Amino acid sequence: MKVHVKIWIEDDEGECVMGDGRLELLKAVMETGSLKEAADKLGMSYRYAWGKIQKMEKRLGMRVMERQKGGKEGGGRSDLTEEMSAFIESYEKMKSDMDNICIREFIKIKPSCFRKI
């Protein structure tokens, strides 16, 4: 048996700012250097991915990505801003800390909850 915890961050209006899906998208952007390639990798449309980024920027009040247009010869690139990279690092640490707390608490209750039949 395992315990699972899902954590996300909402703005004051209850709109999601960061969760597993957005984190996955941002990590794919970091890996590929391209929002288009990140969207393709995750099986979503570019338009959908771009909408997620725009909503994040609006809700956070900061730029999430720095974009460089490529033109016909290519060379375009998307990179996360330093602020977003720091935000992701803090979010992942919070997730890890919460997972560890929940695992420790689950271990405490597990023996008392289950009896062998």
Kindly give, in sequence order, each residue whose CB lies less than 8 Å from that of residue 19, ignoring residues fewer than 6 positions away.
6, 7, 8, 9
Mean pLDDT of 39-62: 96
What is the pLDDT, as a whole number, of residue 61? 93
Predicted confidence (pLDDT) at residue 54 exceeds the cutoff of 90: yes
The domain locations on the chain are 9-88
Look at the pTM and tell me if it is higher than 0.85.
no
Q: Name the architecture of domain 9-88.
A: Orthogonal Bundle (1.10)
What is the pLDDT, as a whole number, of residue 21? 95
pLDDT (tens digit per residue) in 7-40: 999 999 999 999 999 999 999 999 999 999 999 9
What's the 3-state SS for 17-62?
A: EECHHHHHHHHHHHHHCCHHHHHHHHCCCHHHHHHHHHHHHHHHCC
